[in-house]
């Protein structure tokens, strides 16, 4: 793995969705390479193990965090890691051990596997080998513990494990992908209602659950809604409006609507098991 005057040393940073950790690592790494006078000797990019966010900008929180420290993350567009990335790159940097396991599973040769390294392995005396996933990981956020507490997930997942939701028949997305913060800080202009509707039409889920009232009111064109299962469906799909799991909304927290959703899903799962053919 050596750089030449013709061909630079290629590095790719890999996380889950390529909207938080890996684009941040890429942007900062490129800045330091340029500052060290190695801009023409080192080339870098980033990618995700999943395809959920392909084509999207980095999460706004990532862009804002980079901006606060003098970096520009606005040009990033998410993409998925492919086998061709092993051939194109000299070093494949995984942001946590879940990504490392996936990448090693994808490696087609010992040469591919030898290119994989954990980012934190370059930090002498690091307390952890994993770069924490900030998505749904804000201090005091109840999202993951609540999913487990009400039976939606059989185990308590950590934020980096969110791809496992699909294995439990659950999906997650956002109405507003370019802003974050309290509901009062979000603008209607940034809501992608058409994009969310297209995803729901394509997936045709057995139920739709909104984590908080704001998104529910925007999508359902309602001025206000009560928590719990709604009396009206959305295109024949049952709808649940749930108290936000955000720490900011702690004054309105009530687990009972989440428990009702958990019971609804449990019944659906039981029905599915009863109708499965016996081999």
Q: Return the SS3 of 48.
A: strand
**What is the edge-to-edge ordering of all strands in the sheet holding 9-15?**
42-48, 9-15, 91-94, 116-118
Q: Of 51, 41, 105, give the one whose Cα is nearest residue 81.
A: 51
Q: Work out the angle between the directed axes of helices 60-68 and 21-35 (0-180°, nearest 10).
A: 30
Number of H helices, E strands in the chain: 9, 7
Cα–Cα distance for residue pair 259/210, rounded to 1 Å: 14
Cα–Cα distance for residue pair 173/71, rounded to 1 Å: 27
Q: Which positions are annotated as active-site residues?
A: 15, 21, 133
Tokens 């998410």 sit on residue: 78
């Amino acid at each position: 793995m050596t750089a030449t005057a013709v061909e630079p040393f290629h590095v790719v940073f890999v996380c889950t969705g390529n909207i938080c950790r890996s684009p941040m690592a890429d942007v900062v790494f490129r800045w330091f390479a340029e500052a060290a006078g190695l801009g023409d000797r080192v080339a870098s990019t980033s990618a995700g193990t999943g395809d959920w966010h392909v084509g999207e900008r980095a999460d706004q929180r990532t862009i804002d965090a980079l901006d606060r420290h003098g970096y520009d993350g606005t040009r990033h567009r998410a993409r998925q890691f492919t086998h061709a990335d092993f051939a194109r790159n000299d070093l494949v940097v995984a942001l946590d051990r879940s990504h490392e396991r996936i990448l090693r599973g994808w490696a087609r040769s010992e040469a591919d596997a030898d290119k994989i390294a954990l980012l934190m392995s370059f930090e002498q005396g690091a307390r952890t080998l994993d770069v924490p996933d900030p998505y749904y990981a804000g201090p005091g956020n109840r999202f993951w513990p609540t999913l487990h507490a009400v039976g939606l997930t059989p185990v308590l997942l950590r934020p980096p494990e969110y791809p496992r939701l699909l294995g439990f028949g659950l999906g997650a997305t956002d109405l507003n992908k370019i802003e974050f913060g309290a509901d009062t800080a979000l603008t209607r202009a940034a809501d992608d209602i058409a994009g969310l509707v297209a995803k729901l039409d394509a997936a045709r889920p057995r139920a739709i659950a909104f984590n908080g009232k704001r998104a529910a009111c925007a999508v359902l064109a309602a001025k206000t809604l009560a928590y719990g299962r709604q009396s009206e469906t959305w295109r024949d799909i049952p709808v649940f409006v749930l108290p936000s799991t955000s720490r900011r909304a702690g004054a309105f927290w009530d687990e009972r609507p989440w428990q009702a959703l958990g019971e609804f899903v449990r019944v659906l799962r039981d029905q599915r098991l009863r109708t499965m053919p016996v081999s």
